[in-house]
Amino acid sequence: MKVKNLASVMAAAVMMLASANAVAKNDLASFHLKMGDCQTCHADGKMKDIKKSITDSETHINAQCKECHGGFADLADKKLKLDPHGSHLGEINCTTCHSGHAKPKLTCNNCHNFKMEMPFADAKAKKKWDGDWDQDKIKKAIARGPVETVDVVVVGGGNAGFNAALSAQVEGAKVLLLEKAPYVGGNSMLAAGGINAVGTPQQKAKGIKDSVNWFIEDTMKGGRYKNDPKLVKILGEQSADAVKWLESLGVNLDDLTRSGGARVQRTHRPHGGASAGPQIMATLNKVAKERGIPVRLNSRVEKIVLNDDKSVAGVVVHGRHSGYNMIAAGSVVLATGGYGMNKQMIAYYRPTFKDMTSSNNVTATGDGILLAKEIGASMTDIDWVQAHPTVGKDSRILISETVRGVGAIMVNTDGQRFVNELTTRDRASDAILKQKGKYAWLVFDKQLVEKKKMIRGYDRLGMLSKGSTIEELAKATGMKDLAKTVADYNKYQAAGKDAAFGREDMPIKFNQPPFYAVKVAPGIHHTMGGVAIDTDANVLNLQSWKMDGLFAAGEVTGGVHGFNRLGGNAIADTVIFGRIAGKNAAKHALKKK
Ligand code: MEZ
């Protein structure tokens, strides 16, 4: 039996519960018990074995859900304005939100604030399984010895992690990817913008003159010249190849835009202006599945284990169901992302940002930094945290830099421009924080909505104010000087010279109603600092020596972006250094065997 959509599942649930009239508990498991036995959801076996048979990825249970209810496409409900089965998270495990024995939890609400009815919402809340790291259990797992051996363990299932895993496998290594969340993607999944690259066919087709040197100069300038030039050189030189590689896997990157701090259009994005992150992650996940790379969810690494000679021996992983176990590995790749959602770390490293909202995924808790520090890794620029200037005010939703890149202007509460919209993020954020109320508005017209799918997404989320004339929009938002600002901007646009703030790229004239505005404020977006690495993605210790068998890539590392990351350089970083880390980790592990 396939139940076609969520509404009919809920209706069926209510009817069955009413007729059953005597359910033991009001949870999903008790409901299913009315139709069958525990094996409806769990693997065959004696009752006492059922708990043991649940894997950390909850693969069997989820396959059973789909067996009866179909996939997300079957469950999609076109009538819903916001459909949880059609989100940017893709086809994640059903158990990410629904729970057999406990209250369901809408994962979307980690960032959003959707009021959605969930079946069995009055069931008992579940205990958190991945709270404090239990040192005693870690020690016992090490004492018991490894339960499993692989060549390379990759910690973290974002862009860097998947690229590392795919590259390590190409080298012939046996790879295991561990992800603490019930779904993969991390911050990469939320990346709205795109990947910066120079010398691509896309740039050529648009006649854009660019060079690796310009890429390097822009990145160094954006980073206040505090970046490690050797890492930036690799970023520039390998950027076109990174785009080619993603395309070879099936990602579309046909659209080009200009991000803040870049002198030309070099941010490559999916055709039609959809967000880049979900497309890239869906593709990497699919390819990893096709290539048989095990991706284990609900598996939090809580210790990197070293041999007596300080080389890497493996990790201790805390599985949601399997508990604490050691996995032996010749190499470990840290691809755990940054610490933008770890309030304690933010308060410690960047106290002035401690109360700031964050655009980050809840997974960005700095685990890799803590793991590496504990075994003596060196940190680079650890206290440099980037505020993205345009996070939706009062929400955690990023309004992509692309919106400014393709033409939006930014104004204060009176409707006056106050900064070159395409300046670097730190400068734009500082400028907003000096305005009344410490927030700003992005203003644009119908042209952008037509051009960019992601903007239609903001509209669906109810974030946009609208007016059929500029005056109407000004009235709705209280921006008294907006009409004059727009008239002046249109004159600068026509003249090709921004006399007020020197903005170089002014792609649209504001003349196509309706007009839109979205309220924005700076929010924590990227933690530039982290584990110190060399050009082979080896993690360095306090003496700047390689730590034998430990590699790292992506936001967990420091050095690539200096004090400030440019938009579009994160995906480039995660792909390029993820691949380098995976390749070198595999070579190292295979040589050691
Ligand atoms: O790289 C980024 O962080 C980026 C381009 C974000 C965005 O504004 O879309």
Give yes or no for residue 444 having a pLDDT over 70.
yes
Atom of ligand 1 lying closest to residue 399 CA:
8
Residues 91 and 237 in one domain: no
Residues 516 and 397 in one domain: yes
Distance CA 121, CA 26 (A): 9
Pocket test of ligand 1: the residue of 398, 421, 565, 574 to mutate, having most ligand atoms within 8 Å of its CB, is 398
DSSP letters, 466-495, are EESSHHHHHHHHT-TTHHHHHHHHHHHHHH
Task: Write down the pLDDT at residue 586.
Answer: 99
Look at residue 427 and tell me if it is in a domain.
yes
Task: Write down the pLDDT at residue 585.
Answer: 99
Distance CA 141, CA 133 (A): 13
Q: Is 399 touching ligand 1 by the criterion CB < 6 Å?
A: no
Look at residue 123 and tell me if it is in a domain.
no
Distance CA 81, CA 438 (A): 31
DSSP state of 43: P
DSSP state of 377: B
Residues 437 and 493 in one domain: yes
Residues 583 and 465 in one domain: no
Atom of ligand 1 lying closest to residue 569 CA:
1
Distance CA 468, CA 513 (A): 6
For atom 6 of ligand 1, the residue with the nearest CA is 193
Task: Write down the pLDDT at residue 273.
Answer: 78
| Per-residue tokens: 199 | 């010398």
Which of 358, 282, 259, 292 has its CA nearest to residue 572? Answer: 259
Which one has a higher pLDDT value, 453 or 47? 453
Q: How many domains does the chain have?
A: 4
Q: Which amino acid is at 514?
A: P
Distance CA 543, CA 118 (A): 53
Contact predicate 114/292, CB 8 Å: no
Residues 368 and 430 in one domain: no
Tens of pLDDT, residues 410-428: 999 999 999 999 999 999 9
Residues 408 and 506 in one domain: yes
Tens of pLDDT, residues 291-334: 999 999 999 999 999 999 999 999 999 999 999 999 999 999 99
Residues 218 and 261 in one domain: yes
Task: Write down the pLDDT at residue 2.
Answer: 45
Distance in Å, CA 467 to ligand 1 centroid: 27
Contact predicate 426/443, CB 8 Å: no
Q: What are phi and psi of 435, to 5 degrees?
A: -85, 160
| Per-residue tokens: 476 | 């709705």
Catalytic residues: 425
Distance in Å, CA 194 to ligand 1 centroid: 7
Look at residue 498 and tell me if it is in a domain.
yes
Task: Write down the pLDDT at residue 328.
Answer: 98
Distance CA 548, CA 287 (A): 29
Task: Write down the pLDDT at residue 78.
Answer: 80
Interior angle at CA 472, CA 469 and CA 476, nearest 5 = 140
Give yes or no for residue 574 having a pLDDT over 60.
yes
Name every residue whose Cβ is closer than 8 Å to that of residue 373 and which is 6 or more positions away in sequence: 379
Task: Write down the pLDDT at residue 466.
Answer: 97
Task: Write down the pLDDT at residue 255.
Answer: 93
Contact predicate 226/563, CB 8 Å: yes
Task: Pick the last residue of a domain from 261, 277, 293.
Answer: 277
Q: List C-alpha distances in Å: 376 to 35, 183, 291, 379, 592.
A: 55, 30, 35, 9, 22
Contact predicate 463/284, CB 8 Å: no
Q: Is 402 touching ligand 1 by the criterion CB < 6 Å?
A: yes
High-pLDDT (> 90) share of the chain, %: 81
For atom 3 of ligand 1, the residue with the nearest CA is 567
Q: Which amino acid is at 280?
A: I
Distance in Å, CA 323 to ligand 1 centroid: 37
| Per-residue tokens: 172 | 């012939």
Give first-to-last CA distance, the chain, whole Å. Answer: 50
Task: Pick the last residue of a domain from 524, 549, 574.
Answer: 524
CATH number at residue 356: 3.50.50.60
Q: Is 570 touching ligand 1 by the criterion CB < 6 Å?
A: yes
Residues 446 and 512 in one domain: yes
Distance in Å, CA 398 to ligand 1 centroid: 8
Kindly tell me the number of DSSP H helices and DSSP E strands found in the chain.
Answer: 21, 18
Q: Is 275 touching ligand 1 by the criterion CB < 6 Å?
A: no
Tens of pLDDT, residues 244-298: 999 999 999 999 999 989 999 999 999 987 889 999 999 999 999 999 999 999 9
Pocket test of ligand 1: the residue of 219, 400, 426 to mutate, having most ligand atoms within 8 Å of its CB, is 400
Give yes or no for residue 52 having a pLDDT over 80.
no
Q: Is 199 touching ligand 1 by the criterion CB < 6 Å?
A: no
User: pTM value?
Assistant: 0.93
Contact predicate 509/493, CB 8 Å: yes
Tens of pLDDT, residues 346-369: 999 999 999 999 999 999 999 999
Residues 76 and 87 in one domain: yes
| Per-residue tokens: 123 | 């069931």
Look at residue 221 and tell me if it is in a domain.
yes
Tens of pLDDT, residues 367-404: 999 999 999 999 999 999 999 999 999 889 999 999 99
Most confident of 16-30, 121-135, 520-534: 520-534
Look at residue 210 and tell me if it is in a domain.
yes
Look at residue 467 and tell me if it is in a domain.
yes
Tens of pLDDT, residues 510-542: 999 999 999 999 999 999 999 999 999 999 999
For atom 2 of ligand 1, the residue with the nearest CA is 567
DSSP state of 590: H
Distance CA 403, CA 267 (A): 13
How many C-beta atoms lie closer than 10 Å to residue 225's C-beta?
11
Look at residue 347 and tell me if it is in a domain.
yes
| Per-residue tokens: 200 | 């691509």
Name every residue whose Cβ is closer than 8 Å to that of residue 539 and which is 6 or more positions away in sequence: 334, 372, 377, 531, 532, 533, 546, 547, 550, 551, 552
Distance CA 25, CA 537 (A): 52
Contact predicate 38/31, CB 8 Å: no
Look at residue 268 and tell me if it is in a domain.
yes
Q: Which amino acid is at 30?
A: S
Distance CA 418, CA 21 (A): 64
Q: What are phi and psi of 467, to 5 degrees?
A: -150, 145
Distance CA 46, CA 35 (A): 19
Give yes or no for residue 139 having a pLDDT over 60.
yes
Q: Which amino acid is at 259?
A: S
| Sign, CA torsion 182/186/190/195 | negative
Distance CA 588, CA 593 (A): 9
Q: Is 573 touching ligand 1 by the criterion CB < 6 Å?
A: no
Distance in Å, CA 526 to ligand 1 centroid: 10
Q: Is 259 touching ligand 1 by the criterion CB < 6 Å?
A: yes
Distance in Å, CA 399 to ligand 1 centroid: 9
Average pLDDT in the chain: 93
Lowest-confidence region among 29-38, 178-187, 207-216, 499-508: 29-38
Pocket test of ligand 1: the residue of 259, 359, 525 to mutate, having most ligand atoms within 8 Å of its CB, is 259
Task: Write down the pLDDT at residue 454.
Answer: 86
Contact predicate 525/358, CB 8 Å: yes
Q: What are phi and psi of 528, to 5 degrees?
A: -70, -30
| Alpha helices, DSSP H, located in 478-568 | 482-495
| Per-residue tokens: 495 | 């003249």
Residues 561 and 549 in one domain: yes
Contact predicate 29/101, CB 8 Å: yes
High-pLDDT (> 70) share of the chain, %: 95
Query: How many CA atoms are closer than 13 Å to the CA of 271, on its beta-carbon side?
Result: 6
Q: Is 222 touching ligand 1 by the criterion CB < 6 Å?
A: no
* 3-class DSSP string for 297-323: CCEEEEEEEECCCCCEEEEEEEECCCE
Contact predicate 61/42, CB 8 Å: yes
Distance CA 91, CA 71 (A): 8
- Containing 504, the helix (H) or strand (E) segment is none
Task: Write down the pLDDT at residue 46.
Answer: 67
For atom 7 of ligand 1, the residue with the nearest CA is 400
Name every residue whose Cβ is closer than 8 Å to that of residue 44 and which is 6 or more positions away in sequence: none
How many C-beta atoms lie closer than 10 Å to residue 348's C-beta?
13
Span 557-563, average pLDDT: 98
Give yes or no for residue 47 having a pLDDT over 80.
no
Residues 238 and 360 in one domain: no
Atom of ligand 1 lying closest to residue 275 CA:
9
Give the domain range for residue 40. 3-110
Distance CA 382, CA 394 (A): 27
Task: Pick the last residue of a domain from 277, 300, 324.
Answer: 277
Distance in Å, CA 146 to ligand 1 centroid: 40
Atom of ligand 1 lying closest to residue 566 CA:
1
Q: Is 188 touching ligand 1 by the criterion CB < 6 Å?
A: no
Give yes or no for residue 1 having a pLDDT over 60.
no
Residues 370 and 484 in one domain: no
Q: Is 568 touching ligand 1 by the criterion CB < 6 Å?
A: yes
